[in-house]
Amino acid sequence: MKKVHTRFFSSESVTEGHPDKVCDQISDAVLDDVLRQDSRGRVACETYITMGLTIVGGEITTKGYVDVHNLVRNVLKDIGYTHPKYGLDYETCAVLNTIHSQSPDIAQGVDTGGAGDQGMMIGYACDETAELMPLAIHLAHRMAERLTEVRKKGILDYLGPDGKTQVTVIYENGMPKRVDNLVIAAQHTEEILDKTGKFITEKARKEIIDNVAKPILKKWIDKDTKYYVNQTGKFVIGGPQSDTGMTGRKIIVDTYGGAVSHGGGAFSGKDPTKVDRSAAYMARYVAKNIVAAKLAKKCLIQLAYVIGKAEPVSIMIDTFDTSDVPEEKLIEIVRRNFDLTPKGIINTLDLLRPIYRKTAAYGHFGRENQGFIWEMTDKAKILAKEA
């Protein structure tokens, strides 16, 4: 009898009201506003948030004008920070703008079509889900989305904007079998606390499981699945009142949930001349089409760039022994069918559109209904034919 190899793998996600994600959305909202006015604008925007204060900084060069103060307040309002009881009020919080222009030393290399920075970017796809994403991060994202949905629709009107999710999947011989446990940390008002004031009621706990977890996890849960909901007992004080937020602190949440390595560069607030964003999108596009073409069950791609040079200085592909096509040949096929220069990436993926705030919560990858071209599999037939 073949021995069954079992392993556990976990990934987490956060809601759009998590302080770090608030910052990502503000930074990307600034980028979108620039691109609406000036497609050649250069943006590297960072946001910091704490109790009662939002600071927006970085370097921006554009012909347009961004009303940072109103933009920040509108994003906070959209997310749901509309009352002091949630730790931040969009109408009364302070907003500080410290933006300056891009360094001319960087611009002289980027203006000629070169990469906007050095570094390595990672793309990945696998056949665990229809979206070709790792299962754990896919489920964690969808639960985080659902947590926000039931709040905004009033299904669970005691929820606040801040929240986190986590899913642990059991694999047997490399295949996902079931969810062993899940974690939900949901900010809430005091109305669902028990008589001690230290714990949410069992009724509220069950409502969160029934309305958030079960509709998403469906076939992946069973009688042995363990549920951890607000495990400390309560989560009344949340958002920027309990935790500072910064742009770019959720890079594993943004990508593949720790299933593979990460290049290290954050995405939000950066225009597409910054290859740590655009090349990561392109690497996902390439990897997803390779898996969609059934050339591999798993595919990781690493692209590396040097500032001021257009072509990548290296390309690496790892199919984890799931492909019959030599990885050297896959690289040749990729070079023939994908323009990996910054200009080529921008044109292929149509990256000068104001689409970025949508990317800034619930994952940059695996969301096929958002109009992200890097999630398309239109190259799969061509790759299969060439292989």
Segment 215-224 long-range contacts (CB within 8 Å, at least 24 positions apart): 215/146, 216/139, 216/142, 216/143, 216/146, 217/139, 217/143, 217/167, 217/179, 217/182, 220/135, 220/139, 220/169, 220/176, 220/178, 220/179, 221/178, 221/179, 221/182, 222/178, 224/178, 224/180
Per residue in 201-258, pLDDT (tens digit) is: 999 999 999 999 999 999 999 999 999 999 999 999 998 988 899 999 999 999 999 9
What local confidence, expressed as pLDDT, does residue 197 receive? 93
In the chain, the amino acid numbered 194 is: D
Report pTM. 0.95
What local confidence, expressed as pLDDT, does residue 85 receive? 78
* Under 8 Å between Cβ of 341 and 147: no
The H-assigned helical ranges of the chain are 19-37, 68-79, 104-110, 135-152, 202-208, 214-217, 251-254, 275-292, 327-337, 342-349, 356-359, 380-386
What local confidence, expressed as pLDDT, does residue 102 receive? 61
Per residue in 75-112, pLDDT (tens digit) is: 999 999 998 878 789 999 999 999 987 655 555 555 55
What local confidence, expressed as pLDDT, does residue 77 receive? 97
Q: Which two tokens stand for residue 323?
A: 């492909």
What local confidence, expressed as pLDDT, does residue 104 receive? 54
pLDDT along the chain (387 residues), means of 10: 88 98 98 96 96 94 94 97 86 94 56 73 98 98 98 96 98 96 96 94 97 97 97 92 94 98 95 95 98 98 93 96 95 97 97 98 96 97 94
Pairing outcome for strands 94-100 and 53-61: parallel
In the chain, the amino acid numbered 351 is: L
